[in-house]
Amino acid sequence: MHELLEDLKQARRGSTIRQVTRGLTLPFRAARFLKENKKLVPFVIVPALINAVLFAISAYLLLTNAGDIVDWLWEKPVVDGLLSYLLIVLWYFVYVLCLLAAVVLSYVVVLVAGGIVASPFHDFLSEHTERILRGVDDVSGPDESIVGDLLRSIGSSAFIGLMYASLMLPILLLNFIPGIGNVTSTVLSACVSAFFVALEYTDPTLQRHGVKLRDKFGLIWDNLPLTGSFGLGTSLLLWVPLMNFICMPIAVIGGTALGIALEED
């Protein structure tokens, strides 16, 4: 058994502080694991390219249309007095909020769409990672056709992604409430992202082991100090330029180790 997996199992039985520490640092240890096991690199390249393309497309479309969205919601005031100047300042404030919301929404799009599109590649990476972590040659789950297993994996990722998006969209709208709305949106989005990122990247392993969707939610919730900190650390890395393109495959590696530790008592 690899030391990374053994450490996570011990952390799960340890104190809350230890769980949070191990969860936050898991993405970095997963990156080191990838560096030590270069045969996994081919399984990382395709998902990284998919993430880069999706982020570029979504960010471009959302940012270039942010002005039109603001105009649709509120036509830019015409300068004809002191009040109009104040309204223009407020209009630009709303415009900046829309730009920020567009960036955040691009992040959500990458998480949701990237998780679905790259799901088959994540499964391959997760399976090969588990082989190394366990030191075995076969980690296949219940007998099922390749097509059936692929469809089940995509379906699970799609369901998790859509649930995440359905929660995030109303949270983003809170940004239009001055003051407390921005703070509330930031806190809620961080909490929701942490939970669903942990769920998304442990899912390939848990799915392969035949864990039901309801039980997946239960495992994440019951081990929240460990899983939530992993999700939070991974979410923060997604905001780092260039790093975010390879963050998802690294998260799959970390999520695989975490999923095994959660699923095994």
Question: Tokens 């939610």 map to which residue?
Answer: 217
User: CA end-to-end span of the chain, whole Å?
Assistant: 15
Q: Where are the domains of the chain?
A: 3-48+119-263
Q: Give phi and psi for 135, each to the nearest 5.
A: 75, 35
* Average pLDDT of the residues in 236-257: 82
Across 46-50, 78-82, 153-157, the highest mean pLDDT is recorded for 46-50
Q: Copy the structure tokens of residue 154.
A: 């995509």
Quote the CA–CA distance of 216 and 30 in Å, as a whole number: 21
The SS3 assignment for 74 reads coil
Q: What is the 3-state secondary structure (H, E, C) of 200-219?
A: HHHHHHHHHCCCCHHHHHHH
Task: Kindly give, in sequence order, each residue whose CB lies less than 8 Å from that of residue 88, ignoring residues fewer than 6 positions away.
Answer: 76, 77, 79
- What pLDDT shows up at residue 22? 95
Classify residue 259 by burial, with Cβ atoms within 10 Å: 0-12, 13-18, 19+: buried
Q: Copy the structure tokens of residue 82.
A: 């002191």
pTM of the model: 0.76
pLDDT band of 242, cuts 50, 70, 90: low
pLDDT band of 241, cuts 50, 70, 90: low
- What pLDDT shows up at residue 11? 93
Helices 3-12 and 119-134, packing angle to 10 deg: 90
Q: What share of the chain is helix, strand, coil (3-state, %, to 5)?
A: 85, 0, 15
Quote the CA–CA distance of 238 and 240 in Å, as a whole number: 6
pLDDT band of 28, cuts 50, 70, 90: very high
**Could you tell me how many residues make up the chain?**
265
